Amino acid sequence: MSASARGGWLLLVLGLLVGCKTPVALQLQQSQAEQQKILAQNKDLQTKLAAIDEQNSQATESIAQLNRQVQLEREQAAALRDQLASATSQVARLREENTNSTKQIEALQASARRRGGATITPNNSLQNELPDLGIVGVEAQRDEATVRVVIPSSRLFDAEDARLKREGAQLVGQVAQKLARVYPQQQIGVEGHTDNIALAQGKYASHHQLSAAQAQAVFEQLVAGGYFGPEQLRVVGHGAGRPLFSNSTQAGRERNQRIELVIYPETAEARRN
Q: What is the CATH number of the domain that holds 202?
A: 3.30.1330.60
User: Are 226 and 249 a contacting pair, CB within 8 Å?
Assistant: no
Q: Would you say residue 268 has pLDDT above 80?
A: no
Q: Which range marks the domain in which residue 178 is found?
A: 121-272
Helices (H) and strands (E) in the chain, counts: 6, 5
In a domain, 143, yes or no: yes
In a domain, 38, yes or no: no
In a domain, 201, yes or no: yes
Q: How do residues 226-256 score in pLDDT, each as one tens digit?
A: 999 999 999 999 999 999 999 999 999 999 9
Q: Would you say residue 115 has pLDDT above 60?
A: no
In a domain, 57, yes or no: no
What distance in Å separates the CA atoms of residue 71 and residue 60, rounded to the nearest whole number? 16
In a domain, 62, yes or no: no
In a domain, 171, yes or no: yes
Q: Would you say residue 122 has pLDDT above 50?
A: no
Q: Would you say residue 198 has pLDDT above 80?
A: yes
Count of domains for the chain = 1
User: Are 101 and 146 a contacting pair, CB within 8 Å?
Assistant: yes
Spatial strand order in the sheet of 186-193: 139-143, 146-152, 258-267, 186-193, 233-237
In a domain, 138, yes or no: yes
Quick one: which of 83, 238, 225 has its CA closest to 153? Answer: 238
In a domain, 189, yes or no: yes
**pTM summary value:** 0.55
Residue 119 pLDDT level (bands cut at 50, 70, 90): very low
What distance in Å separates the CA atoms of residue 93 and residue 86, rounded to the nearest whole number? 10
User: Over pLDDT 70: what percentage of the chain?
Assistant: 76
User: Are 223 and 65 a contacting pair, CB within 8 Å?
Assistant: no
Quick one: which of 194, 195, 172 has its CA closest to 261? Answer: 172
